[in-house]
Structure 1
Amino acid sequence: METDGRRLRGNRTRASVLDAVVSLASVEGLDGLSLSRLAAQLDITKSALFTHWRGKEELQLAALEHARAQWVAEIVAPALEQPTPVQRLWAVHERRLDFYAREMLPGRCFFSIVYREFDDRPGAIRDRLVEQSAQWHEFLVSTIEEAIAAGQLREGTDANRLAYEIDALGEGAVSRVRMLDPEFVFAAARAAVLQRLRAASTNPDLLPEH
């Protein structure tokens, strides 16, 4: 029982640390991560951090997986509850914008800042980011292809291009939200994707009118 209790406390500490890292990195990025600052913020010792991770890069990689799990839980999983592929595709975009609008993270998006930070820096962090980015694009493409196969999007729809357009509008929204009115930015990103999907849909009634 004591062993189980220690494991539970250890898991809670690990989750708390990763929550803090993802939150901080959404504003400042991962590279400037200071283990001393993190330990002080969480009121734990640096040695407690090294109980879970052997060094800074290992913690950074763990943060990438934690942020991905958060993305799946908050955006992807709820969208997958929709009954049809085209509705799931729309729900993913809508949930993404809602995640940003609710400021679930202080910088709104962990990945947008970390991509820019590591896009031209070879190494384990960039390699994993490339994998995650490809997985996200492939998820969008496969959902679009399912919608085409189900007869909900028109034959001839370029799934690869449509996936890129949807992702670009989501990324564009979070990159401009601090420079423009947030309500306008998110409404515009929502309307643009909705218009694109309704135009490509064989049954626009499956999607909101506006």
Structure 2
Amino acid sequence: MPVDGRVARGDATRRLVLRRAVDVASVHGLAGLSVGGLAGELGLSKSGVFALFGSKEDLQLAAVEAAQGIFAEHVLAPARATPDGLPRLRVLCESWLDYSQQRVFPGGCFFFNVSAEFDAQPGRVRDAIAAMGRAFLAEIRACAAEAVSLGQLDADPELLAFELHALGRAANADAMLHGSAEPYRLARRAVAARLAQGQST
């Protein structure tokens, strides 16, 4: 069955708007998104963009979902292509730090920034952001648990996941605030040291 040209154009416009939306939100926050602003930046009609999303909250939720897909591509996919256990855990941490340092989003880690923005604001947007945060922490914990079960690490998977997650968040925050790559270097050293400390002998 041939694809309706209007549907294809609508999908392409939606992708274009969301790619710009996640970049804007990574710097200015999800509250800084507006249908009119994005339409003006991209040379699109406001009514056309509004028809794709319907409300500011729908736009924010779509931006979170789009950012999640980009995060998965840059962070989760490389790890999941790596053997189970400690190798996967290492790649997961390295990919996360690379994603932040390379500014896949211009404002650093999208989810770190919007989490701070919405952590005290109940609603669907915070729920979506929180779900992503829980899922990523669970991914780290699952990798750590697999490394323990394979005899590669002697550690508490829950505590180790919390520590590694904290190191990545601290590196992103300090690097953005101070405009320096040094926090990433330190985080990589700290991750390597923590994993070496936990390696079974």
Displacement after TM superposition at 1:135 (Å)? 1.1
Q: 2:50 — aligned with what?
A: 50
Q: 1:175 — aligned with what?
A: 173
| Relative contact order higher in (CA < 8 Å, ≥ 6 apart) | 1
Letter in structure 2 aligned against 1:160: E
2:163 is the counterpart of 1:165: yes
> Superposed, which structure 2 residues align to 1:1-210 within 5 Å?
3-154=3-154, 157-180=155-178, 182-202=180-200
Work out the CA distance in 2 between the residues paired with 1:10 and 1:99.
29
Structure 1 segments unaligned to the other structure (5+ residues):
204-210
Displacement after TM superposition at 1:34 (Å)? 1.9
Work out the CA distance in 2 between the residues paired with 1:47 and 1:146.
50
Work out the CA distance in 1 between the residues paired with 2:55 and 2:144.
40
Displacement after TM superposition at 1:4 (Å)? 3.0
Displacement after TM superposition at 1:2 (Å)? 6.8
Work out the CA distance in 2 between the residues paired with 1:7 and 1:104.
28
Q: 1:208 — aligned with what?
A: none
Describe the superposition over 1:129-179 as per-residue Cα deviations: whole angstroms up to 9, x where unpaired: 12111111111111111111111111xx11111111111111101100134
Work out the CA distance in 2 between the residues paired with 1:201 and 1:11.
48
Structure 2 segments unaligned to the other structure (5+ residues):
none
The answer on whether the counterparts of 2:35 and 2:50 sit within 8 Å (CA) in structure 1 is no
The answer on whether the counterparts of 1:101 and 1:182 sit within 8 Å (CA) in structure 2 is no
Work out the CA distance in 2 between the residues paired with 1:4 and 1:34.
28
When residues 64 and 36 of structure 1 are mapped into structure 2, their CA distance, relative to the original with a 3 A threshold, is same
Letter in structure 2 aligned against 1:92: L
TM-score normalised by the chain length of structure 1: 0.90
The secondary structure found in structure 1 opposite 2:103 is coil
Work out the CA distance in 1 between the residues paired with 2:114 and 2:195.
29
Work out the CA distance in 1 between the residues paired with 2:59 and 2:23.
14
Among all aligned residue pairs of Structure 1 and Structure 2, give the percentage whose two residues are the same amino acid.
37
The answer on whether the counterparts of 2:108 and 2:176 sit within 8 Å (CA) in structure 1 is no
* Count of aligned residue pairs for this structure pair: 201
Letter in structure 2 aligned against 1:49: V
Letter in structure 1 aligned against 2:164: I
Work out the CA distance in 1 between the residues paired with 2:144 and 2:30.
33
Displacement after TM superposition at 1:3 (Å)? 4.4
Work out the CA distance in 1 between the residues paired with 2:14 and 2:179.
36
Describe the superposition over 1:41-100 as per-residue Cα deviations: whole angstroms up to 9, x where unpaired: 111011111222111101100111111111000111011111232111111111111112
